[in-house]
């Protein structure tokens, strides 16, 4: 077994026993880290692997969250059914965006703008959708917090922690195999040079749409998790572009296109920004927007000194190849 | 094998190719020469599916291929290189070629084995684990050829792959193409400025000038053709 795999197994074991030693606050921070590790991994499929920049991933989180949330809210049907509706809707949206963009040759910055536009007008649409509460939001009933009700995905924070740990781990394994598969080679070829990829027989349109579909499906699952973990959904918050930016900062800082970059980036950003917030609170200082400034500074430092992200440099230093 | 019939292609009024026709017999090595701006690369791009011709048709093994997308042309059995090399810079040399090999192989393991054999043929095997971005220009040209060959084409379009190579490297490349042509029956169409390579390789040459085919024949015939001498060789000293 390579050093990388041993390190990864140790990390997984540590995360599995982590709740035994952690208080409620530490557990909530760890849940958040894993949530961003998972969504970062999902976004990385599109941008890191296939080179298609989405700045509107909050669209899939929001639609996924609202789909499963509304089905539970109105019909009392748990998320295991709502999940598939969420995935279906998000894949349909992703494929629509991909189809519009790639069929008509919209790429790069213009593609990114299109993804923002879709997230924005979906936000405005949900503001006017009374069925899910409009701008006033939708609240899922929090009946009990002590027993694990897996069927309805209701339970203590510990349950959510293990679910998001499982999701982040599965996403890592999935991406590991994807990257070594035909799809991974094709996506990377498209990312590196689309014209050359096409000359080698790759139907670039189809493979780009595939990347968007997979990424949106994975993000839809994060949305379902979000709905049942936070129990309240507001269009203004969930579709906000700053949510999309939060998703993409992890993989960019950790290392675009790498397997471990999204995980490392999520950990660095969430732990440090929460640390700073805590520190300031302890000092009694109230500085609004300090988190955003922090994100900006970290991004600046990484782009200047580690343009490929932290993970590639760290992996070289530690001789890890996972 | 390839039949180009009366194709024309204009860009905003500039007629890059006018009524060009030629046929390539199966198994031959053919050259397309002409001064800069004669329309050689445009013809290549029309055959390879980058552009659809404005007029005319292209038949490959009896089947119309004009208007197909580049990936469909590749699937039909035509491989191509780019004059301005386009490596997948962030991937290793081997991974570049695996991408090509995956066109005929469904899974990665056999594609990798085939890619390794191609790299050996082109003497790139020692550099297989380097990132493509670190290659020198001659090696990048070789990589272009390796990647195109990995898709197992029956017709290979080579767009100035000898340009920038030293004479010995050029001769090496000529030898590679000769052996591919002999052992695997690969048909080759090459665009070249380097006359040394064209004369050594091509059994048949077409000369393009201002988008029109002005002469055809064996290398010996072409160099004696007065029209060719006037338009092309008169201003070339490399012969």
CA dihedral for B32, B36, B41, B42, sign (positive or negative): negative
Chain B residues touching A200 at Cβ < 8 A: 71, 74, 99-100, 103, 147-148, 150-151
> pLDDT band for position A17 (50/70/90)?
very high
pLDDT over threshold 80, residue B235: no
**Whole-angstrom distance, CA of residue B64 vs CA of residue B60:** 6
Average pLDDT of span A175-191: 97
pLDDT over threshold 90, residue B157: yes
Tell if the pTM clears 0.80, that is, is over it: yes
pLDDT over threshold 90, residue A146: no
User: Integer distance in angstroms from the first to the last C-alpha of chain B?
Assistant: 30
Asked if B86 is an interface residue toward chain A (Cβ–Cβ < 8 A), one would say yes
Is the ipTM above a cut-off of 0.95?
no
pLDDT over threshold 50, residue B107: yes
Q: What is the pLDDT of residue B213?
A: 86
Q: What is the pLDDT of residue B238?
A: 47
- Min Cα separation A199/chain B (Å): 5
Q: What is the pLDDT of residue B232?
A: 65
Residue B147, C-beta contacts closer than 8 angstroms, at least 6 positions apart:
A196, A200, B81, B96, B97, B99, B100
Which alpha helices (DSSP H) does chain B contain, by range?
Answer: 40-48, 70-76, 93-101, 108-121, 137-150, 167-184, 195-201, 219-224, 226-231
pLDDT > 90 in chain A, percent: 77
Pairing of strands A232-233, A138-139: antiparallel
Ordered domains of chain A (ranges, CATH): 3-318 (1.10.3470)
pLDDT tens-digit readout, A86-99: 999 999 999 999 99
- Min Cα separation B6/chain A (Å): 24
Any idea which of A40-49, A174-183, B185-194 has the lowest mean pLDDT? Answer: B185-194
Give the residue from A42, A108, A29 showing the smallest Cα distance to A248. A42
- Min Cα separation A50/chain B (Å): 12
> pLDDT band for position B214 (50/70/90)?
confident
**Whole-angstrom distance, CA of residue B131 vs CA of residue B124:** 12
Chain B residues touching A195 at Cβ < 8 A: 50, 70, 82, 86
pLDDT over threshold 90, residue B33: no
Nearest to A198 among B70, B100, B147 (CB): B70
pLDDT over threshold 60, residue B239: no
Owner of token pair 């070629």:
B97
Nearest to A185 among B89, B99, B148 (CB): B99
pLDDT > 90 in chain B, percent: 53
pLDDT tens-digit readout, A273-309: 888 888 888 888 877 778 788 888 888 998 899 989 9
Neighbour-count burial of B196, counting CB atoms closer than 10 A to its CB (0-12 exposed, 13-18 middle, 19+ buried): middle
- Residue B88 · residue B132 · CB < 8 Å: yes
Asked if B68 is an interface residue toward chain A (Cβ–Cβ < 8 A), one would say no
Give the domain B2-235 fold.
Answer: Rossmann fold (3.40.50)
Q: What is the pLDDT of residue A283?
A: 86
Q: Domain ranges in chain B?
A: 2-235
Q: Which residue has the higher pLDDT, A138 or A145?
A: A138
pLDDT tens-digit readout, A230-267: 999 999 999 999 999 999 999 999 999 999 999 999 99
CB atoms within 10 A of CB B25: 11
Composition of chain B by helix, strand, coil, percent to 5: 40, 25, 35
Average pLDDT over chain A reads 93
Chain B residues touching A50 at Cβ < 8 A: none
């Amino acid at each position: 077994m390579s050093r990388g795999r041993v390190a990864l197994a140790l990390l997984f074991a540590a995360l599995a026993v982590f709740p035994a030693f952690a208080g409620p606050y530490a557990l909530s921070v760890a849940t958040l880290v894993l949530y961003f590790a998972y969504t970062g991994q999902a976004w990385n499929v599109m941008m890191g692997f296939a080179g298609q920049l989405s700045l509107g991933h909050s669209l899939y989180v929001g639609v996924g969250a609202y789909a499963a949330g509304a089905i539970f809210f109105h019909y009392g049907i748990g998320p295991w059914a709502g999940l598939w509706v969420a995935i279906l809707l998000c894949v349909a949206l992703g494929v629509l965006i991909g189809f519009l963009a790639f069929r008509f040759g919209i790429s790069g910055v213009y593609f990114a703008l299109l993804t923002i536009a879709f997230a924005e007008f979906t936000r405005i649409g949900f503001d006017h959708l009374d069925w899910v509460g409009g701008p006033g939001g939708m609240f899922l009933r929090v009946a009990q917090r002590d027993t694990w009700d897996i069927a309805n995905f209701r339970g203590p924070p510990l349950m959510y922690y293990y679910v998001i740990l499982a999701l982040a781990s599965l996403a890592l394994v999935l991406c590991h195999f994807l990257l070594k598969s035909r799809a991974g080679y094709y996506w990377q070829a498209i990312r590196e040079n689309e014209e050359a990829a096409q000359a080698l027989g790759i139907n670039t349109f189809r493979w780009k749409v595939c990347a968007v579909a997979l990424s949106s499906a994975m993000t839809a699952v994060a949305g379902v998790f979000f709905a049942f973990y936070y129990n309240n959904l507001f269009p203004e918050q969930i579709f906000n572009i700053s949510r999309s930016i939060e998703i993409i900062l992890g993989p960019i800082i950790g290392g675009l296109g790498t397997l471990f970059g999204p995980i490392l980036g999520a950990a660095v950003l969430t732990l440090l920004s929460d640390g700073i917030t805590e520190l300031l609170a302890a000092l009694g200082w109230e500085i609004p927007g300090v988190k955003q400034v922090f994100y900006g500074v970290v991004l600046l430092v990484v782009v200047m000194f580690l343009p490929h992200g932290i993970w590639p440099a760290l992996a070289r230093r530690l001789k890890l190849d996972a | 094998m390839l039949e180009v019939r009366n194709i024309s292609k204009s860009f905003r009024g500039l007629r890059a190719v006018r009524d060009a026709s030629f046929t390539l017999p199966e198994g031959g090595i053919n050259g397309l020469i002409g001064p800069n701006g004669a329309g050689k690369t445009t013809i290549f791009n029309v055959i390879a599916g980058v552009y659809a011709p404005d007029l005319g048709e292209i038949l490959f093994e009896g089947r119309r291929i004009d208007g197909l997308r580049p990936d469909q042309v590749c699937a039909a059995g035509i491989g191509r290189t780019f004059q301005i090399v386009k490596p997948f810079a962030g991937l290793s040399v081997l991974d570049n070629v695996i991408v090509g090999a995956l066109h005929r192989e469904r899974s990665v393991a056999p594609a990798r084995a085939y890619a390794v054999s191609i790299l050996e043929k082109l003497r790139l095997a020692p550099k297989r684990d380097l990132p493509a971005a670190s290659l020198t220009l001659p090696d990048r040209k070789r990589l272009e050829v390796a990647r195109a060959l990995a898709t197992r084409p029956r017709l290979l379009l080579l767009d100035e792959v000898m340009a920038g190579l030293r004479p010995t490297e050029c001769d090496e490349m000529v030898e590679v193409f000769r052996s591919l042509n002999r052992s695997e029956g690969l048909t080759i169409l090459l665009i070249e400025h380097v006359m040394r390579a064209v004369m050594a390789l091509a059994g048949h040459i077409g000369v393009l000038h201002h988008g029109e085919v002005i002469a055809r024949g064996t290398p010996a015939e072409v160099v004696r053709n007065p029209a060719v001498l006037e338009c092309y060789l008169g201003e070339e000293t490399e012969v």
